[in-house]
Structure formats: structure tokens, C-alpha cells
């Protein structure tokens, strides 16, 4: 037997996998952070990619809008913001001419206490902050995207700023391909109709984790950011501990793409054989706080399991299913076709998870090991359940056969396996 420890809530559970069955354990590369994370952001600001330094772009009289992530993202905004403010001040820009916009997209506004945690008390005292509302009546139309005809409306403060700066982190995203860069415009500071039009394209097969090629969601986001005339971005790539590995600053697209390369280097893994069974942990708290969040780990590892295989999801789900729209769509939409129709007709955040789960259930059997009541897991979300991971593994071996091969993913929310068939002609 091989013991594989899997994060579960704030603890770990042990999967005992027969050595003859185990193909291996796949985890992200263990990349150490830079010694001084603020200094790393300063370095990136001094060496911008594809554009001038921010202090050369901004003028003393410039009104500056800085978009930062809201509370549902783990972006290290404070560590990026302090050097950015210093760079702007070096250009002669006064604090009173800077506005920080929390890019809330379709999410709720940021509270005062949350703002302090995100930006630090020093920045909150110095700089005016606002939360963007996608349902606000005070939006500005800036143009229509060329490829998909999305009419883009953005936050007025953002639209009227002389200098527009985006802060964020680059990581995998299940339909935009990657987070970061252009996402700090669409959806972050856009109106609801622009967001819905963009997100409705997630039904496209190219709108998937780790893919930008012909991805309509990404293309539309990028065109929206171009229409917004973004001047500068500061994005970081972090390790599993949330520590900055490297910062990227400069041009909207050039700096972002450099960060994308590093994400793939750290978090992408090639598999030359698909498993019959996958045992995947969402990565523990907070990634497995509810089923809505934990499902991301399933979506990431689908390329590593055979059609008809079994996926064992190890996720505590302390807060249950986690999203009411996700729940509602699973109760009233019977299949993938009806979910896709609903998304095209009226995209609502949360409904996309129902679509993804229904798609996965078409091809795989999913066994959930969690603290969520069986009623919800089986009756609403159509999952099999097991009390412990080894019970789930025994059940999976009954389904796929005793000789089945197994991949284990202790950090499923952070790793992206890509299947590549072995080259049989290679000597």
C-alpha cells in the first residue's frame, strides 16, 4: 500500500492505494517565494514589459484609477499597491488624484473592514476607494467588441481617469483560461449586460482552463480592456502558500502573457496515461469550504481520467453547497442541453457550475467524500457519496475493476494535468 495524504478542511486524510494500482501523485512544482515580495514588485515596475515606466506615463496632474480585486480573490493587493503608489507619487501624482476601485464585477461591494484587510490601513487612510457596482446606472459606454459584438459599459470613475492601472494575480480560470490582466476590466468594472454577454460564451468548447487559443471569453475580455485604454498592469504569480514568486508589470497583453508562461511552468503537468480512477482533493480550506468552490478541482483534472472512469472528490464542504443559483439550477435543469440554453438566455453567476457538473456526470461517476448531508449530494447534485476516502476507493475499484490505475491529486484546485499520448515512433 502507498499512503497518500490529502488536505481535507484544516486537516488531512490518508488514502491507502495499492502500489500496483497507483500511477503516481501529481502536485504543482514547489516554487519558493522571493525573499522580499515588495522589492520584487518594485523590480517589475522598474523593468516594465512592452511599455514605459508608470512614472513616465503618469503626469503630475493625472487622475489615476487603480483597479484591485475584491474579497472572493486571493490577490495580494497590498503588496502590489504600496510600490505602485510610490511610483505614482514619484511622477508627481498627488494621493487625492488617485482612486482605488474594487473590481467587484457581479459580486457584492467590499465592506470597510474587508477594504482594510485587502489594502492595509495606511492605503485606506491615504487614498479614496470605491466598490464597483455592475448594476449601477452611472456607467459609461466605451464601444463594442469587434469579434463578438459585446457592448461594453464600464465604471464612470474608471472611464474618466487619465491613467488606468490594473492590479491582480495570474492563475488558472475555468472558462477565461487564466485570471489576471484583462479580467480586471471585464468583468471587474463592467456593467451587468456586458458581463452576461461575455460569460454566456463559456459554453464554447475553447472556453476552458489553461486555454487562450480561440477562447471567446478571453478574446472578448481582451478587446474590452483595449477599448478601455488600459495604460498599465501589475500582475503577480504566487506559489501554493500565496507568496509572490514573480511580478510582471507593463503592457496589458505583453506582461500578462509572460505571467501565463510562468503559471504553466509551475502548475501544469503532462500525463501520458489516463487513469481509471482519480482521487482528488480540492486542497483543503478554503478551497473546499463548499461544493461550489471544491468543484474547480474536478474541472481541472478531467483530462487525466478515462471516459467512464471514477473521480473521487475529497472536500470537507463545511458550508454545504455554497451557492444558491448552483443549487437551483441543479434542481430544475435536467441535463446539459437545458443548462446551456439557460446560460445563453440568461447567464447568472453560479449557473455555470451546474453546467460543468452536469457535463462531467455525463462521462464520469463522481464520489464525494465530505461532511455535506447525503440528501444534498445525492438528490440535488447527483453524486455518489462515501464516509471515508478509502471506502470511496474500494467502491471505485468495484466499478472499474481491481486492476484499475489511479492518479492522486492532493492539490487539485492548483494543478492542471494535460494528457499527451506517448510518441510510439520515438526510440
Q: For 109-127, what is each residue's pLDDT tens digit?
A: 999 999 999 999 999 999 9
Task: Report the pLDDT value the prediction gives residue 425, as an integer from 0 to 100.
Answer: 46
pLDDT, position 423 = 67
Q: Residue 347: its pLDDT value, please?
A: 83
| Assigned domain for 382 exists | yes
Residue with cell 445563453: 344
Out of 12-16, 31-35, 272-276, 334-338, pick the least confident: 31-35
| List of residues 6+ apart from 149 with CB closer than 8 A | none
- In angstroms and rounded to an integer, the radius of gyration of the C-alpha atoms of the chain is 22
Instruction: Please determine, for residue 324, whether its predicted confidence score (pLDDT) is greater than 80.
Output: yes
Judge if the upstream peptide bond of residue 269 is cis by omega within 30 degrees of 0: no
91, part of any domain: yes
Residue 35, pLDDT score = 79
pLDDT in tens, 157-176: 999 999 999 999 999 998 99
Q: Do the domain assignments include residue 246?
A: no
Mean pLDDT across the stretch 199-210? 94
Q: What CATH number corresponds to the domain at position 223?
A: 3.40.50.11440
Q: Does residue 307 sit within a domain?
A: yes
Is residue 123 domain-shared with residue 207, that is, in the same domain? yes
What's the chain's average pLDDT?
Answer: 94
Into how many domains does the chain fold?
2
Q: What percent of the chain has pLDDT over 90?
A: 89
Mean pLDDT of 378-393: 96
pLDDT of 261 strictly over 60: yes
Q: Average of pLDDT values for 60-69?
A: 97
**How is residue 251 written as a grid cell?**
503592457
pLDDT at 377 over 80: yes
Q: Are residues 141 and 231 in the same domain?
A: yes
State how far Cα 171 lies from the chain centre. Answer: 6
What average pLDDT does range 356-384 have in this prediction?
Answer: 96
Structural domain includes residue 20:
yes
Do 226 and 198 share a domain, yes or no? yes
Least confident of 9-18, 32-41, 206-215, 276-285: 32-41
Mean pLDDT (whole number) for 177-191:
97
86 in the same domain as 12: no
Say whether both 282 and 210 belong to one domain: no
Residue 252 lies in a domain: no
Q: Are residues 59 and 7 in the same domain?
A: no
Q: Please, what is the angle between helix 192-199 and helix 216-227, to 10°?
A: 150
Neighbouring residues of 14: CB distance < 8 A, sequence distance ≥ 6: 3, 4, 5, 6, 389
pLDDT of residue 427: 45
Percent of the chain with pLDDT over 70: 99
pLDDT at residue 247, as a whole number: 97
Q: Which among 38, 29, 27, 44 is positioned nearest to 244, based on CA atoms?
A: 38
The verdict on 18 and 90 lying in the same domain is: no
Residue 237 sits at the vertex; the CA angle it makes with 177 and 33, to the nearest 5 degrees, is 150
pLDDT of residue 426: 52
pLDDT, residue 345, reads: 85
Give yes or no for a cis peptide into 249 (omega within 30° of 0).
no
Q: Is there a single domain that holds both residue 287 and residue 383?
A: yes
CA–CA distance, 152 with 185 (Å, rounded to integer): 10
pTM of the prediction?
0.90
CATH number, domain containing residue 292: 3.90.226.30
In a domain, 255, yes or no: no
pLDDT tens by residue, 236-250: 999 988 899 999 999
Angle at 240 between CA 283 and CA 5, to 5 degrees: 40
Q: What are phi and psi of 165, to 5 degrees?
A: -125, 135
Residue 259 lies in a domain: no
Same domain, 90 and 211: yes
Whether 31 shows a pLDDT value over 80: the answer reads no
Residue with C-alpha cell 474536478?
A: 298
Q: How many residues does the chain have?
A: 427
Judge if 143 and 62 occupy the same domain: yes
Q: Does one domain contain both 230 and 360?
A: no
pLDDT tens digit sequence for 45-54: 999 999 999 9
**Residue 380 lies in domain:** 2-28+269-419
If asked whether residues 15 and 86 sit together in one domain, one would say: no
Please report the pLDDT score of residue 278 as a whole number.
98
Amino acid at each position: 500500500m502507498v499512503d497518500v495524504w490529502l488536505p481535507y478542511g484544516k486537516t488531512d486524510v490518508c488514502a491507502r492505494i495499492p502500489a500496483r494500482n497507483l500511477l503516481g501523485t501529481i502536485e504543482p512544482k514547489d516554487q519558493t517565494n522571493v525573499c522580499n515580495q515588495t522589492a520584487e514588485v518594485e523590480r517589475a515596475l522598474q523593468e516594465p514589459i512592452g511599455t514605459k515606466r508608470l512614472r513616465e506615463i503618469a503626469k503630475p496632474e493625472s487622475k489615476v484609477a487603480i483597479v484591485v480585486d475584491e474579497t472572493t480573490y486571493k490577490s495580494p493587493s497590498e503588496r502590489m499597491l504600496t510600490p505602485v503608489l510610490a511610483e505614482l507619487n514619484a511622477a508627481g501624482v498627488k494621493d487625492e488624484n488617485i482612486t482605488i476601485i474594487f473590481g467587484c464585477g457581479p459580486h457584492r461591494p467590499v465592506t470597510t473592514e474587508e477594504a482594510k484587510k485587502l489594502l492595509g490601513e495606511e492605503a485606506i487612510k491615504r487614498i479614496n476607494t470605491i466598490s464597483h457596482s455592475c448594476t449601477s446606472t452611472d456607467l459609461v459606454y466605451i464601444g463594442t467588441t469587434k469579434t463578438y459584438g459585446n457592448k461594453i459599459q464600464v465604471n464612470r470613475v474608471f472611464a474618466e481617469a487619465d491613467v488606468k492601472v490594473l492590479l491582480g494575480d495570474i492563475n488558472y480560470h475555468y472558462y477565461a483560461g487564466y485570471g489576471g490582466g484583462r479580467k480586471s476590466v471585464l468583468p471587474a468594472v463592467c456593467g451587468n449586460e456586458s458581463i452576461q454577454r461575455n460569460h454566456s460564451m463559456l459554453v464554447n468548447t475553447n472556453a476552458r482552463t489553461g486555454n487562450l487559443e480561440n477562447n471567446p471569453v478571453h478574446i472578448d475580455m481582451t478587446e474590452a480592456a483595449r477599448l478601455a485604454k488600459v495604460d498599465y498592469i501589475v500582475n503577480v504569480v504566487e506559489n501554493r502558500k500565496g507568496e509572490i514568486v514573480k511580478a510582471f508589470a507593463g503592457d496589458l497583453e505583453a506582461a500578462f502573457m509572460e505571467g501565463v508562461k510562468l503559471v504553466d511552468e509551475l502548475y501544469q503537468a503532462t500525463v501520458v496515461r489516463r487513469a481509471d480512477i482519480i482521487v482528488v482533493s480540492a486542497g483543503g480550506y478554503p478551497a473546499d469550504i463548499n461544493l461550489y468552490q471544491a468543484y474547480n478541482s474536478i474541472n481541472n483534472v478531467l483530462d487525466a481520467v478515462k471516459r467512464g472512469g471514477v473521480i473521487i472528490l475529497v472536500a470537507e464542504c463545511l458550508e454545504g453547497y455554497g451557492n444558491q443559483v448552483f443549487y437551483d439550477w441543479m434542481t430544475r435543469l435536467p441535463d446539459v442541453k437545458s443548462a446551456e440554453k439557460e446560460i445563453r438566455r440568461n447567464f447568472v453567476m453560479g449557473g455555470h457550475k451546474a453546467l460543468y457538473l452536469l457535463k462531467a456526470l455525463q462521462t464520469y461517476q463522481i464520489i464525494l467524500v465530505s461532511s455535506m448531508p447525503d440528501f444534498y449530494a445525492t438528490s440535488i447534485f447527483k453524486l455518489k457519496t462515501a464516509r471515508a476516502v478509502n471506502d470511496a476507493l474500494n467502491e471505485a475499484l468495484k466499478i472499474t475493476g481491481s486492476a484499475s490505475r489511479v492518479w492522486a491529486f492532493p492539490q487539485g484546485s492548483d494543478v492542471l494535468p494535460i494528457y499527451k499520448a506517448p510518441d510510439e515512433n520515438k526510440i
